[in-house]
């Protein structure tokens, strides 16, 4: 009795295409929200635009890591470049933590001094 693990071939380029579309969609949404926020005088739209921009930056980091991770091993990187995706995730995670800590600080300061 044989045991088979046949998996369908997944083209890495199709994933790249999806991530690229997501980057462009976030970029266009960011621009639209900034324009709309300025025209309407809406700080919440501009704040959401910055949130979408940070999402776009995270996707760009992930996209670049994906591309680099597929490079074959060479004399300097004998195990290949696959670990770059872990580094990219660490960068994205660290950025989220820093932004979160800053937002908690700002929220606390505004509770203490609302007119700040």
112 pLDDT tier (thresholds 50, 70, 90): very high
For the stretch 53-79, pLDDT in tens is 999 999 999 999 999 998 888 888 888
34-42: long-range contacts, CB 8 A cutoff, minimum separation 24:
none
Buried b (16+ CB within 10 A) or exposed e, 25-57: ebbebbeebbeebeeeeeeebbebbeebbbbbe
Q: pTM score, two decimals?
A: 0.73
Domain ranges of the chain: 13-112
59 within 8 A of 23, measured Cβ to Cβ: yes
With a cut of 90, say whether residue 8 has pLDDT above it.
Answer: no
């Amino acid at each position: 009795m044989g045991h088979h693990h046949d998996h369908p071939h997944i083209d890495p380029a199709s994933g790249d295409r999806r991530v690229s579309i997501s980057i462009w969609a976030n970029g266009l949404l960011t621009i639209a929200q900034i324009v709309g926020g300025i025209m309407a005088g809406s700080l919440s739209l501009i704040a959401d635009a910055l949130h979408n921009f940070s999402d776009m930056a995270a996707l760009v980091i992930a996209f670049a890591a994906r591309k680099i991770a597929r490079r074959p091993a060479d004399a300097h990187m004998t195990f290949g470049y696959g670990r770059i995706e872990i580094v990219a995730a660490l960068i994205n995670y660290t950025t989220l933590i820093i932004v979160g800590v800053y937002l908690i600080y700002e929220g606390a300061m505004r509770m203490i001094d609302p007119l700040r």
